[in-house]
Chains A and B, each alone.
Chain A
């Protein structure tokens, strides 16, 4: 029987079989009986099943997540709240988080993606912050898979429609195409907000006898058991899960945002939490548990969209655009006035108590009466068995076939799905609303001005799934390092990250091994780069019929630019500038895009990440930017050095003349190797000496690459590659693909 249809049979006996249909194992059901001391009602079973779901309880990931560094002088709030908070100085702070909406987005891509964006924005404004920028990290299947175009079009449209209507700029992100996502796309949405450090709101419902207030949209039957769906893998019948996907209404969310911020300016709120996954259940349980109180809910007072909703349905609905607040007694009138002004539902649906229990009443009957500790803390915690991913051999550059011409390979790479311009995507996002976007999509990191100041917040989302697939430890290190590098490349001091851990079924030891290694790799990189994790989300069971996605620990990082006048961009600006490479070269071609594009397969070990070199090189580049010594900066990542140079040329509309290579290393390894910890910089020739000296003092290798000028990429002994040709191929692929397949 469909779980959501259970509600009609509220009086049935609960058995281990019913529990299994709710996603609870036989052992978990035994644990539940012990925690409750009796057989649960259907409503109680539903509440337990969502609170103990992987999505809400982190039962498989918890033991590993404890290894992540979460502290630093800049951290005002680490993991455990709706979002993380870092200090920006001058009494202001950034609130941010990234979250997955993978399962719903595959089943219903438009609504799934839209509500993912809506949910992450609520997590941010719940804490009192005004959202100032959105980003997203998207993984789709192979371009030639029959569903890919539909999924891309609908996901992008869903993200755009929601963020655009909210008036929050979507300033960038990343998109991959890979056949391993054919049946499990990933939609990870990130939001960054700005708050006064002294006005941060949290979710601990401290104090007894306080009114519990429901605001926002009415409750409907949509999204029931969404959290449970997100905690199971897919099979051929997954399309039937469409009713578990929520429906978004960005207009209501915009009103909710303004109303919440307006009320937050008054001294009325004790605690506030958005109703996200597991809706009313998880918001009430988490708030009461954190506040050390009990909570009584009167469901007859919950505004509903449909007639005859049962307690089970109301507790499990994931209808969007709803918030739960605990008010200071006497503030009810003030709050009601604000929410009525914004034409939103407002209802006092209960009170905090001293019982330590969640008591749910509906139509005169007690539908649930559960000790909160059982829901929040008695959930099982698993130390699942795991196996290590088999390491791959390092690829010797000499063994990789060379292209006929380097520039032909460059043209081919720049017009491959992995590297083509994502303009078709981000032009559907309003990336300029709020009039503070000082660096638009397409660069290393987006930068939004801190409103009313000269400071900038740099934001970047990064992970390279093909690296993680063969070496999750090194791949996760690389994801953190690349994010740190992208923020550095615009001149920011990297502050902290949020993570979105997308993996397959953790009950399989090889998947659990990927997760464990990725956490350890992240932990090492975060510690070495002083780049702590302040919020995040784990999405497991991203697999269909036993085939899992590659491990995808998406990293969303933010950094602070003290003065946006000293911000760097990737665009070449002046003919005559010299082009230089900072960082060490090894010609590492394992798992490179060169292999993927030219040989149609990747193999070997991914490039190793030397975190000392990352830090040394990055700190050196940032100093040069702050000193005004450089005119353009770009980190070297996917595709390698020549791709980075070509991207700088296209962005600025200036060609480059490159010096002939010297030394024994094959040219294609130099041009297309994906060695880490490198940056290309452009600078006035007058400043070259000072840059050389600064790099030498910092023990950072520096090599002269050539000069800016002309309208082509010029390489010794090859026909020049005109920028116009390169641009047409680079810009043309995605629009053509979306129009014609």
Chain B
């Protein structure tokens, strides 16, 4: 699998994503600077976490208009899988590849801790190594992670099976206390219509190494490797 990681000014999980991809694929991904309009031939494009352009204006808003994003949008529309983590998810919504928006956490504070997620389906390129309904542990680290969309959009996302992950308790139940940031319907991550684009606030790349007290995140990268070779 050939992967490319897009680096914006202010990205800061680009290395973490590259390390996790390297571990899963056996080769280092291409690191693509935001000012470049060319992306090498890629089976997967990753938009990493961080604070692109300082998150000034609105999280992800300026990055969505950087030169490289035109190419990312074109590749996504042509079917290349795109994974947006945290700030990358925010960029994907700002760029119109995914619906909705990430608002300030309900606590109004930055939150960094492990959360439990329910895997809503395991028939996508991103999730085939998980079981459907499996409860996994990923870290979150964000201030603007409260997923919001209007009711009609939320209904459509659910109806089309486009909710990827939801915040849940240890039993997999979708409860208010399990929701760390006030996201509508406990949504932690969503797909596009074809389920080739995934945006999620939690960080799979941060628990993809046994030394870091968990490997639930690694399964996402292994799923991608298996699907995309």
> Interface on A for B, CB 8 Å cutoff?
157, 160-161, 164-167, 249-252, 254-255, 341-343, 426-438, 449, 564
Contact = CB atoms under 8 A, between A and B. Distances in A.
Given A433-B141, A435-B209, A449-B211, A251 B12 contact: no
Given A438-B211, A564-B211, 16 more contacts: A164-B110, A164-B141, A165-B10, A165-B51, A167-B12, A251-B51, A251-B55, A254-B9, A254-B10, A254-B54, A342-B9, A431-B112, A435-B209, A438-B212, A438-B213, A449-B211
B219 interface: no
A651 to B, nearest CB: 13
Interface of B: 9-10, 12-13, 15-16, 19-20, 35, 49-51, 53-56, 109-113, 139, 141, 143, 203, 205-206, 208-209, 211-213
A58 B219 CA distance: 55
A428 B110 contact: yes
A251 B206 contact: no
A551 to B, nearest CB: 33
B206 A432 contact: yes
A123 B120 CA distance: 46
A428 B51 contact: no
A157 B109 contact: yes
B112 A435 contact: no
B228 to A, nearest CB: 22
A427 B54 CA distance: 21
Given A435-B206, A435-B209, A437-B212, A429 B112 contact: yes
B110 A161 contact: yes
B9 A435 contact: no
Contacts of B10: 165, 251, 254-255
Given A251-B53, A343-B9, A432-B139, A160 B16 contact: no
A433 B12 contact: yes
Contacts of A426: 112
Given A427-B112, A435-B16, A250 B54 contact: yes
Contacts of B113: 427
The residue among B12, B15, B55 with the most chain A CB atoms within 10 A of its own CB is: B12
Contact of A160 (B13, B35, B50, B110): B110
A435 B209 CA distance: 9
Nearest to A569: B213
A250 B55 CA distance: 11
A440 to B, nearest CB: 8
Given A165-B10, A431-B112, A435-B209, A254 B141 contact: no
Nearest to B11: A167
Contacts of B35: 341
B109 A254 contact: no
B203 to A, nearest CB: 8
B15 to A, nearest CB: 7
Contacts of B15: 434-435
The residue among B16, B35, B56, B208 with the most chain A CB atoms within 10 A of its own CB is: B16
B122 to A, nearest CB: 25
A447 to B, nearest CB: 10
Nearest to B14: A167
B182 to A, nearest CB: 16
A165 B9 CA distance: 11
A252 B20 CA distance: 27
Which 9 A-B residue pairings sit nearest by Cβ, starting from the closest? A167-B12, A251-B54, A435-B16, A430-B141, A165-B51, A430-B112, A428-B110, A160-B110, A432-B206
19 contacts: A164-B51, A164-B143, A165-B51, A167-B12, A167-B50, A251-B10, A251-B53, A251-B56, A254-B51, A255-B10, A342-B9, A343-B9, A428-B109, A432-B139, A432-B203, A434-B15, A435-B19, A435-B206, A435-B209
Contact of B12 (A161, A254, A341, A343): A254
A194 to B, nearest CB: 13
A160 B110 CA distance: 8
Contacts of A564: 211
A426 B49 CA distance: 19
Contacts of B111: 427-428
B112 A428 contact: yes
The residue among A251, A255, A342, A438 with the most chain B CB atoms within 10 A of its own CB is: A251
A354 B49 CA distance: 49
Contacts of A252: 54
Contacts of A166: 12
Contacts of A436: 212
Contacts of B208: 435
Contacts of B209: 435
A564 B51 CA distance: 30
A427 B175 CA distance: 21
Contacts of A255: 9-10
Contacts of B13: 167, 433
B68 to A, nearest CB: 14
A166 B51 CA distance: 8
Contacts of B9: 251, 254-255, 342-343
Given A167-B12, A250-B54, A430-B141, A435 B109 contact: no
